[in-house]
Homo-oligomer: A and B are copies of this chain.
């Protein structure tokens, strides 16, 4: 029993340590003079921040990726993004299978039970993920090349296509244009390819498995229904809000046709969850647009995907649970299925801890970072949400961060990517040894 617990513990620790090691290797490589265009070596802090941002697929940067880094430096970033996106996904499969096995053997605490359906085995699922991810990224590269070849020629066009296909699929948010996708606001083809790559990356392995097995078993799991339903509803609602709040899309309104404005609005609803490639500078957004973007960055994608945030299933489950509680119902249900009590408790705790971490970070940032006279609290709030949600959109604070600010934003990116529960289990050295006794129950007044 204790053995089993130790084995369970080693997985969150392995994940946390693995990420740290990859970030450190990336940092060392990025400090090399070889990694910069100027041939001067980069400061350790800037290299560490960049490696963290790439590995945690966030995209917040202290230096301009296009201007500062050499081809070698950009290649390091590409590899870090792929490890942070795809590597993380395959690791979560292992974690998922282990949890399920453990569930059968012992306690149900923290359990993420499977889907009461025939599933692929661990190895075939991992193989499937890697193959599918490669196919999607290569297809994306080819589709982007059709757009980039006329603009940049063969070699540069190929490199740009590969880099941005990976960046979009891994929801990483890095770009080689120097101003994200701002030059492509008038290019609906490119935006469509990018949006498709972003969405494919944010699905997560369970949804993929479900979709691939659909022909065989003719039904979707509760997980897939909840994830797709929540994601779809949120995207549609936020697109409508953006359409009204950012109707003129800032300074772009004069250059864009009505259909291109529509395309940009759709893209705005997709990219904060949590790709971070943008077609307009977000500091030009209305206050309402900034608010909805922060919400989208907080939600993020599906668990076990390349996206960050607290995840669609968490938000969807809690919305259903709140409605059930307010209607005086005991069970949280969807589509003739009941969610486990463990699911609900885990989701609620996740949200509470996430908001607590964000509140503390925002308070510290507000007290210590330079805020322009023309900006309000959203100047630091937005950056904290972007880091924690690994979305990487910025209102402009990141390059001006103090040392404390940089450390804080890096910590948020790390916790946001590796996961609150995983990081906390590692730090707090959680053990599942239950005491042999329980204290007597007592109740308090709530609300």
Contact = CB atoms under 8 A, between A and B. Distances in A.
A222 B359 CA distance: 27
How many copies of the shown chain assemble into the complex? 2
A331 B345 CA distance: 12
Contact of A338 (B204, B302, B442): B442
A222 B345 contact: no
Interface in A333-392: 333, 336-340, 342-353, 355-356, 359, 362-363, 366-367, 371, 373-381
B303 A326 contact: no
Given A321-B349, A428-B326, A113 B443 contact: yes
How many chain A residues sit at the interface, stated as a range, is: 35 or more
Contacts of A227: 444
A430 B326 contact: yes
A374 B372 CA distance: 10
A367 B326 contact: no
B446 A328 contact: no
A318 B327 CA distance: 23
Nearest to A5: B328
Nearest to A337: B442
A304 to B, nearest CB: 6
B349 A445 contact: no
Contacts of A441: 337-340
A431 B424 CA distance: 39
A208 interface: no
A96 B446 CA distance: 11
A340 B443 CA distance: 6
17 contacts: A113-B443, A115-B442, A222-B443, A226-B444, A291-B377, A310-B447, A322-B349, A322-B352, A325-B346, A327-B430, A337-B440, A348-B351, A348-B352, A350-B447, A373-B374, A376-B379, A420-B447
